[in-house]
Amino acid sequence: MQQRTDRPRGVLVVDDDAVVRTILGMLFRRQGLPVWLARKGSEAVEIFQHHGLEITLAVVEVAMPDVNGAQTLMQLRESDPTLACYFLCGGSHPYANEELMEMGAVGLAVKPLTEKMLAEIVDECLVYV
């Protein structure tokens, strides 16, 4: 991947829940940000390979099929170690919340999430894009 020069603003939302993924995408777009949506970790990695220079933040569900959120973040950070990540947690997963934060997450929200909570997540994330 080429070196980023001016940190363009963009968000990658990775969640197997279509409702959460769609609402977050809509809320980030309302802020004027480009958004890419992925249903699972492997799809997120593929999107990042093509658009990584345009993405500064990943909002990632921890418990997903195929590759979990923490593994997804590790794979994304192989291309860009400076990528900011906000984790969403729902259901069971093998990580304690503290472990997720120690992985360098800029934030963490526990599902179920209301639309108001999703809007608050977007507001928290704006400093990273």
In a domain, 36, yes or no: yes
**In the prediction, which pLDDT does 66 show?**
85
Answer whether 129's CB lies under 8 Å from 11's CB.
Answer: yes
Residue 92's CB is within 10 A of a number of other CB atoms, namely 7
Look at the chain and report how many structural domains it folds into. Answer: 1
**In the prediction, which pLDDT does 82 show?**
92
Q: Is the dihedral of CA 73, 79, 81, 84 positive or negative?
A: negative
pTM of the predicted model as reported, rounded to 2 decimal places: 0.89
pLDDT of 79-115, one tens digit each?
999 999 999 997 677 788 889 899 989 999 988 888 8
| Low-confidence residues in the chain, pLDDT < 70 | 1-8, 91
In a domain, 121, yes or no: no
In a domain, 126, yes or no: no
- Full domain range(s) for residue 22: 14-90
Q: Distance from CA of residue 110 to its chain's centroid?
A: 14
How is residue 37 written in tokens? 């949506």
**In the prediction, which pLDDT does 60 show?**
96
**In the prediction, which pLDDT does 4 show?**
47
